[in-house]
Structure 1
Amino acid sequence: MVKLLLVEDNEDNRDAISRRLIRRGYGVALACDGAEGLQAAQNSLPDLILLDMNLPEIDGWEVARRLKASVKTQGIPIIALTAHAMLGDREKALGAGCDDYHTKPIELAALIVQIEALLQKAGAR
């Protein structure tokens, strides 16, 4: 089973996204803030990380940079999840180390396509 880590501080978003992904057959671990997300990524080594960029403790931009700087986690694909859809935000996320970018509200079918493409690229599928 493919393991995803969802790092999302909004409880309603975390619950809705995780339930929908579990129904699609993914294993989903959860983290509520950036510090918890870093710890969970190091401990569980998920196949892919869904990372909210606006997080307490450590924001998603810094989480992505730290994950990509660590030998242990640098190969894990990251999809940035953000309500920011301003010009340049996608490039900023990719520049921080994210492998893809998805704006909120989440469009599940499109997110699944992104997840599957990155898993195939990473060899996790």
Structure 2
Amino acid sequence: MKSCLVVDDSKVIRKVARHILEGLSFEVREAADGREALDACLASPPDVVLLDWNMPVMSGMDFLRALREASLSAKPKVVFCTTENGIAYIRAAIEAGADEYVMKPFDRETLQSKLQIVGMA
């Protein structure tokens, strides 16, 4: 079973994402900020990370940079999931190592198609 770490400071978004991902047969873990997510990834890397941009403690971009610099045996795919929709944000996310980008709010079809693009669905 593929695993996904949902990283978002919104409990509602984590719950919605969990519901969709479990319906797609993913094992789901959650983190409320980038620091918690980084600790979870270092302990047990997921197959894919669904990542919010704006969070307290450690932002999505800071988490992504730290994740890409970490010496993990398997590098998780990262799908940014955010309300930031400017081309500059998308470019910055991809340049920092994100594999794909999805806008909030998202639905099952949108998320599934992004996961297919990164080879996870």
Shift of 1:107: 2.8
Mapped pair 1:68 → 2:80 = no
Residues matched between the structures, number:
121
Shift of 1:73: 6.3
Query: What amino acid does structure 2 have at the position aligned with 1:75?
Result: K
Contact 2:45 2:75 in 1 (8 A): no
Partners of 1:77 and 1:15 in 2: how far apart? 20
1:53-87 alpha-carbon deviations (Å, 9 max, x no partner): 11110000010001011121672110011101123
Partners of 1:92 and 1:23 in 2: how far apart? 31
Contact 1:47 1:119 in 2 (8 A): no
Q: 5 Å matches for 1:92-107?
A: 92-107=92-107
Indicate the residue corresponding to 2:12 in structure 1. Answer: 12
Shift of 1:113: 1.7
Q: 5 Å matches for 1:1-125?
A: 1-72=1-72, 75-119=75-119
TM-score (norm 2): 0.92
Percent identity for Structure 1 against Structure 2: 27
Partners of 1:42 and 1:50 in 2: how far apart? 16
Contact 2:81 2:103 in 1 (8 A): yes
Deviation above 4 Å: which 4+ runs of structure 1? Answer: none
Contact 1:67 1:74 in 2 (8 A): no
Partners of 1:76 and 1:92 in 2: how far apart? 18
- Partner SS state of residue 6, structure 1: strand
TM-score (norm 1): 0.89
Instruction: Specify whether residues 98 and 38 from structure 1 end up closer, same or farther in structure 2 by C-alpha distance, changes over 3 A only.
Output: same
Structure 1, unmatched stretches of 5+, are none
- Partner SS state of residue 61, structure 2: helix
Instruction: Specify whether residues 51 and 72 from structure 1 end up closer, same or farther in structure 2 by C-alpha distance, changes over 3 A only.
Output: same
RMSD: 1.6
Query: What amino acid does structure 1 have at the position aligned with 2:27?
Result: G
